[in-house]
Amino acid sequence: MALRTGDQYKEGQAKIKHNLYINGKKVENLEDNPNTKTVLDANARGYDLGMEPEYDEITNTISPLIGEKVSRWVHPSCSAKDLEMRAEMAVLNSQKLGTCNYRCPGCDVMHGTASITYEMDQKLGTEYHKRFIEWLKYIQKNDLAVSGSVMDVKGPRDLRPGKGDPDHYLRVVEKRPDGIVLRGARLHQSGAYGVDETIVAPGVAPRQGEEPYAIACAIKNSQEGITYIAQYNAMSAEREFMADNSKLGNPIYGQRETCMIVFDNVFVPWERVFLCGETEYAHSLLLRFAKQHRMSCGGSCKAGFMDLIIGATQVLIESLGLDKASMIRQQMTEMIRVREISYGLAIAAAYRGKEEPKGSGFYLPNDTFGNAAKLNTCDGFWEVMKWAGDIAGGFAVTMPSEKELENSVTKPLVEKYLKTYAPAEDRMRMTKFLQNWIAGLHGVGTWHGAGPRQNQMIMLYRDTDLEKKKQMAKELAGLKD
């Protein structure tokens, strides 16, 4: 079985005893809580997309490891074409779900791990790659959902790992003959309780002396010692309060759900450990993961989100009778510009992808285009939200509840006074959908997901050959060295 349906994925989740808390309460079953259920529903829809022939090329491929059709979510790319399809898969899932592609960080950590473990086995004579490939075959054969865990809780940002509370960065506290023991906590983990496994990678570039923090491995969901503490905010409360999901901004798939994962002496057998103590390679793993994630999460995924914002705004434009206004068209064009640059750069990053390292068979995108894609998204997403909010008007945040349409007193008033060219009900529905984007969690989420702006600025500057550009300018200007 190399491809599961959404129902099969959910059946698998139903068997897991989740050690999860939300808003101070234990969640025994993800289906029972309206917020955690959105993660299950989003992942299930993602699995079902893989069954639709129309999307087969984008979502699936033949695995060179097991010789069967597998989901691209568990396939580290083996060509530039694979990378392109990976980017397209992010666009597609974002368009269909309007929420996080929860299997995205896991897929991208797999890309980095496949590449670095190959290099380590070649140069150090380790067995990390062999182990990783065996684990990956198991994941592929069972079509398991995998999340990616990189970001430590960190504590004070000016302290290196180990200098403050030693557990603020995930670390190895014990090495045993049969495996290692982990302690620490990770923050912002997208949908991590709603998967089968999590692949862990270093969140900082550990230096010499920080070996316990150089760790990559795979853990099973809810294994002993793991606690998940889910995010909770006003939109979580709204979903809990509203018995009827259809009145929410993204009715089925919700906001982006994340959680904190606490590792309290979690045992990981050696066959699931892919890096342990090699600080130099831990840094490279982090960089290779980031390279991949900026193309997919920073660039293409957000192009899918922007499609939804642009589409919703156009629906409102037509209902408000603004479709002939040249200023409005300009604003829409600005939104489309931002979307196309992020998308175009992500695809360019894939096209210029290279085998890394040579001989490994694994491909990673072009870093410059990936960083530029993410930078464009960081700034551009706010711009898109600005224009969408401008066009929707103050109603984007002042609209009454759609529940007024169920009240015999307020229904006729709302219907009369809030109709435009569209009935009040349709206008309110689409405005609520847009509110989810422009007045919700996505601005900050998009900025920080795949790393804050400064990270890409550093990489872009570092990777640019300024000497070469100087020479070009000097040569043409007739300046001698």
Identified binder of ligand FAD from the candidate list 358, 454, 465, 477, rule CB under 6 A: 454
Closer CB to ligand FAD, 298 or 360, in the complex: 298
Q: What angle do CA 118, 108, 132 make, to 5 degrees?
A: 35
Distance set, CA 195 to CA 15, 40, 190, 434 (Å) = 12, 9, 10, 28
Q: Segment contacting ligand FAD (CB under 6 A): 65-73, 132-140, 184-192, 363-371?
A: 184-192
For the CB of residue 399, give the shortest distance to ligand FAD in the complex, in Å. Answer: 25
Q: Do residues 181 and 174 touch, judged by C-beta distance below 8 A?
A: yes
- Does residue number 110 form part of the binding site for ligand FAD (CB under 6 A)? no
How far is it, in rounded angstroms, from Cα 40 to Cα 191? Answer: 9
Task: Identify the CA nearest to 259 among candidates 335, 195, 323.
Answer: 195
- Does residue number 206 form part of the binding site for ligand FAD (CB under 6 A)? no
- Does residue number 258 form part of the binding site for ligand FAD (CB under 6 A)? yes
Identified binder of ligand FAD from the candidate list 47, 219, 445, 459, rule CB under 6 A: 445
- Does residue number 98 form part of the binding site for ligand FAD (CB under 6 A)? no
Identified binder of ligand FAD from the candidate list 105, 112, 161, 184, rule CB under 6 A: 105
Side-chain half-sphere exposure of 328, counting CA atoms within 13 A: 19
How far is it, in rounded angstroms, from Cα 66 to Cα 137? Answer: 6
For the CB of residue 168, give the shortest distance to ligand FAD in the complex, in Å. Answer: 11
- Does residue number 189 form part of the binding site for ligand FAD (CB under 6 A)? yes
Torsion (CA) 343, 344, 346, 349 in degrees, nearest 10: 180
- Does residue number 151 form part of the binding site for ligand FAD (CB under 6 A)? yes
Identified binder of ligand FAD from the candidate list 76, 98, 194, 449, rule CB under 6 A: 449
How far is it, in rounded angstroms, from Cα 291 to Cα 314? Answer: 34
How far is it, in rounded angstroms, from Cα 133 to Cα 123? Answer: 17
Identified binder of ligand FAD from the candidate list 137, 247, 411, 448, rule CB under 6 A: 448
For the CB of residue 130, give the shortest distance to ligand FAD in the complex, in Å. Answer: 25
The interface with ligand FAD within residues 341-380 (CB under 6 A) comprises none
In this structure, how many other beta carbons lie within 10 angstroms of the beta carbon of residue 41? Answer: 20
For the CB of residue 471, give the shortest distance to ligand FAD in the complex, in Å. Answer: 32
Over its C-alpha atoms, the chain yields an Rg (Å, rounded) of 23
Size of the site for ligand FAD (CB under 6 A): 19
Q: Segment contacting ligand FAD (CB under 6 A): 1-9, 238-246, 426-434, 444-452?
A: 444-452
For strand 226-230 and strand 20-22, is the pairing parallel, antiparallel, or unpaired? Answer: parallel
For the CB of residue 105, give the shortest distance to ligand FAD in the complex, in Å. Answer: 4
Closer CB to ligand FAD, 195 or 341, in the complex: 195
Q: Which residues neighbour 450 within 8 Å (Cβ) at sequence distance 6 or greater?
A: 290, 293, 294, 297, 298, 374
Task: Identify the CA nearest to 65 among candidates 78, 51, 82.
Answer: 78
Closer CB to ligand FAD, 61 or 284, in the complex: 284
Question: Contact positions toward ligand FAD, by CB under 6 A?
Answer: 105, 148-151, 154, 157-158, 188-190, 256, 258, 445, 448-449, 451-452, 454
